């Protein structure tokens, strides 16, 4: 697929993931969608997120895994795509490491 199509799908999935999480979560933690990676054939996508406070990461991950099928339906109902990709959620460790480095730099 072209880079433009991949970028557009990435953008749509990130936006839909944010609105889905906002509507479905119990709002006891702040969940931020930070990135989305779409496979070249656009059959799979991984949505990356961060959680504040960090103590809620496990609970949020379990919540998102439970809601995976509901998110698939949400994509089909809210995006004009021929086929919605299979979506998985992952904690954004890159962002977490960046925050840790920033914290260490501030201390020095």
CATH number of the CATH domain containing 68: 3.30.300.20
Mean pLDDT over residues 23-51, rounded? 95
The domain of 27 spans 3-107
pLDDT 10s digits, 41-88: 999 999 999 999 999 999 999 999 999 999 999 999 999 888 889 999
- From residue 5, how far is each of 31, 38, 47, 73, 89 by CA, in Å? 27, 10, 17, 21, 21
pLDDT value at position 96? 77
Residue 1 pLDDT grade (very low, low, confident, very high; cuts 50, 70, 90): low
pTM score over 0.85: yes
Q: Give the number of domains in the chain.
A: 1
């Amino acid at each position: 697929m072209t880079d433009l199509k991949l970028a557009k799908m990435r953008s749509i999935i990130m936006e839909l993931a944010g609105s889905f999480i906002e509507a479905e979560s119990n709002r006891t933690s702040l969940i931020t969608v930070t990135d989305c990676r779409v496979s070249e054939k656009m059959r799979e996508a991984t949505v990356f997120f961060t959680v504040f406070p960090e103590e809620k990461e496990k609970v949020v991950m379990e919540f998102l895994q439970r809601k995976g099928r509901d998110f698939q339906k949400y994509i089909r109902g809210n995006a004009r795509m021929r086929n919605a990709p299979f979506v998985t959620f992952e904690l954004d460790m890159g962002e977490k490491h960046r925050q840790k480095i920033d914290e260490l730099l501030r201390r020095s």
